[in-house]
Structure 1
Amino acid sequence: MQTRSLELPEVRQARLERSFELHVAPLNRWAEQVQAESGRWLPFFDPVDGGVLARVLLLLETPGPAVSRTRFVSMDNPDGTAENLRCLLHLSGLRRREAAMWNVVPWQMSENGVVTPWPGQYAEAVPLTQYLLGLLPDLQVVVLVGRHAEKVWPLVGSPLPALVCPHPSPQNVNPRREAATLALGTLVEAHRTVSGTRKGAIPASEE
């Protein structure tokens, strides 16, 4: 399993060329629309993930600095959080085409370093999360990755079940084995939630 692959220019270009495949086109057109209306830069959903076919939504805090270079919210981004999440997902058995990845504050604020949103920005972004959920008709469970996503979720008011997952940043899980264990357990539970309802085969190269 390769991690950090979006640090390679040829991989980024190939991924960009797939940005409007059928399963991600509605999501990435929506991201472009929000950007045009708000003036805030939004990344794309990764076409290697499930897009509108996702059954699991991995909901993080806000895009990290690497997103400015790769254009995607992705587990293939060249940073420690993405790498840890990719490894944990692989260990859980959850397939990438069963999941989508996004942030409760989706616009980029951390191009020059990690920035934590303030409460007003979380509240401002809630309607975007609510709209996104309507674009994911097969969604069965939301994984709240980190305490900020956990705090914002009640404001969304969704009836979907939500699972709490420790944030997979290197600072959080690398020195704290119990955090990594809890994160893996949450993803295993998400996998169990959707494992009985898969539709069709998923190519092994995309898992």
Structure 2
Amino acid sequence: METRALKSEAVRQARLGQVSAPHVEPLNRWVEEQSGEGRWLPYFDPADGGLSARVLLLLESPGPAVSRTRFASMDNPDGTAENLRCLLHLSGLRRADVALWNAVPWQMSEGGVVSPRPAQYAEAAPLTRQVLEQMPHLRVVVLVGRHAERAWPLVGSPLPTLACPHPSPQNFVSRREAAVRALGALVEARKMLSGQEKGATPLPEK
């Protein structure tokens, strides 16, 4: 399994050439419309499910690597993205079923990691709602990290959610159980999609 693929300039340029692929074109056109006035949003990764995604992995905010790659992607050249890519592989979730986004989606960490503030949760909530409206096949949202968990109630969506520890290397080293819990959340998301979880009830149609 390849990780940190967007470290390669050739891969990055090829991926940029796919931002208008049919399954991500409306999302990435929306990204471009929302960017401006001194801030910008990263593209949805064409390697993910895009409009067909059934699981949304909602992280906190774009990390420094995004300023180099221009993508919200688990192929970014940093430890968090690498951990997330490995967790997805181990969980059995198909990448075609998944999309990646951030609760506060604009880039503010080009010079180093900057954590979102509560006021920014409310500012970003309408953007998250607009993303959800463009993904008719979503069945579950995985809230990756405490900022995503805190921001989600402001979105006001009825979609089922699962809590997942943030997969940063620092978090996984300092809290050894975090990786196990993170993998468990993604496994549960896969089971919810397949209807194999014991006692699961059908998810409502959107």
TM range (shorter): over 0.9
Map of 1:6 onto structure 2: 6
Letter in 1 for 2:184: G
CA deviations on 1:83-118 (whole Å, 9 max, x unpaired) are 000000000000111000000110000000000111
Local SS of the residue matching 1:97: helix
Counterpart CA distance in 2 for 1:87 and 1:25 is 27
Counterpart CA distance in 2 for 1:159 and 1:39 is 33
Map of 1:44 onto structure 2: 43
State the 4+ residue runs in structure 1 displaced beyond 3 angstroms. none
Letter in 1 for 2:39: R
Letter in 1 for 2:23: H
How far apart are residue 178 of structure 1 and its match?
A: 0.8
CA deviations on 1:137-162 (whole Å, 9 max, x unpaired) are 00000000001100111111100000
Counterpart CA distance in 2 for 1:61 and 1:9 is 26
TM-score (norm 1): 0.92
How far apart are residue 39 of structure 1 and its match?
A: 4.2
Counterpart CA distance in 2 for 1:24 and 1:140 is 18
Map of 1:177 onto structure 2: 176
Asked if 1:19 is matched to 2:19, the reply is yes
How far apart are residue 176 of structure 1 and its match?
A: 2.7
CA deviations on 1:28-70 (whole Å, 9 max, x unpaired) are 000000114x542111000000000000000000000000100
Local SS of the residue matching 2:115: coil
**Percent identical across equivalent pairs?**
70
Counterpart CA distance in 2 for 1:5 and 1:128 is 28
How far apart are residue 194 of structure 1 and its match?
A: 1.2
CA deviations on 1:153-205 (whole Å, 9 max, x unpaired) are 111110000000000000001343210000000000001111359xxxxxxxx
Counterpart CA distance in 2 for 1:180 and 1:156 is 27
Letter in 2 for 1:63: P
Map of 1:29 onto structure 2: 29
Letter in 1 for 2:33: Q
Counterpart CA distance in 1 for 2:132 and 2:189 is 17
The gaps in structure 1 that reach 5 residues or longer are 198-207
Map of 1:114 onto structure 2: 113
Aligned residues of 2:116 and 2:147 also touching (Cα < 8 A): no
Map of 1:142 onto structure 2: 141
TM-score (norm 2): 0.93
Letter in 1 for 2:181: L
Local SS of the residue matching 2:89: helix
Tell me the C-alpha RMSD between the 2 structures: 1.2
